[in-house]
Amino acid sequence: MRNHRLRRQAPLVLQLRRAAYRVAYRLLWLAAFVRPPRGRGAKAAVVCNGEVLLVRHSYGPRRWELPGGGVRRREDPLVALRRELAEELGLSVVDPVPLGVHPGPGRFARHSTHLYRVDVESRSVRPDPVEIDEARWWDPAAPPAALGSMVRQALMLAGLPRPQGR
């Protein structure tokens, strides 16, 4: 329902909301220099018929990422994953398989991300137009070149074919 209302909004409103996400992302990125984040995240390798779903956000680096997001204070990572996949993509998650917990890269080492594998029956998704620029299904053996920091590792842990030549 929320995504349907957003799609009907005027393009200017959508642009303003995306701009707000980009500003917030930059402020958090700058704040991390003063105090590196200690939070948690939850992301999933969403798989359908051997293909994996990757997203590009409307903010931050223009890389293909696993869908998911932040875990709120006192929130279980699995609950956060279900919430994020529902908000960002309109997906209802039934039986996620935990793949592990991994520290963030570089100065974000105090941040941990819970990785999961989620198998779905349908490739149908409804990306949130404010947060998600693009959502696309990829052959895990031939993903796009610009991948986020944990994508390759998650694909390997999920038992998917290894990317070739990159």
- Which residue would you say has higher pLDDT here, 26 or 107? 26
Residue range 2-157, CATH number: 3.90.79.10
Closest CA to 155 of 99, 86, 80: 99
**d(C-alpha 46, C-alpha 63), whole Å:** 17
Q: Check residue 56 and give its pLDDT.
A: 95
Q: Give the mean model confidence (pLDDT) for residues 73-96.
A: 94
- The answer, yes or no, to whether residue 107 has pLDDT greater than 80, is no
Q: Check residue 81 and give its pLDDT.
A: 97
Q: Give the mean model confidence (pLDDT) for residues 139-154.
A: 91
Q: Which amino acid is at 51?
A: E
pLDDT mean across residues, the chain = 85
**pTM, rounded to two decimals:** 0.78
Cα-Cα-Cα-Cα dihedral of 133, 138, 142, 144, to 10°?
0
Six token digits for residue 151: 């994508």
Task: State pLDDT tens for residues 8-58.
Answer: 556 877 778 777 777 776 776 666 666 655 578 999 999 999 999 999 998
CB 75 within 8 A of CB 86: no
The band of 65, judged by pLDDT with boundaries at 50, 70 and 90, is: very high
CB 143 within 8 A of CB 163: yes
Q: Check residue 1 and give its pLDDT.
A: 47
Q: SS3 for 52?
A: strand
Q: Give the mean model confidence (pLDDT) for residues 139-145.
A: 92
- The answer, yes or no, to whether residue 5 has pLDDT greater than 60, is no
**d(C-alpha 135, C-alpha 164), whole Å:** 22
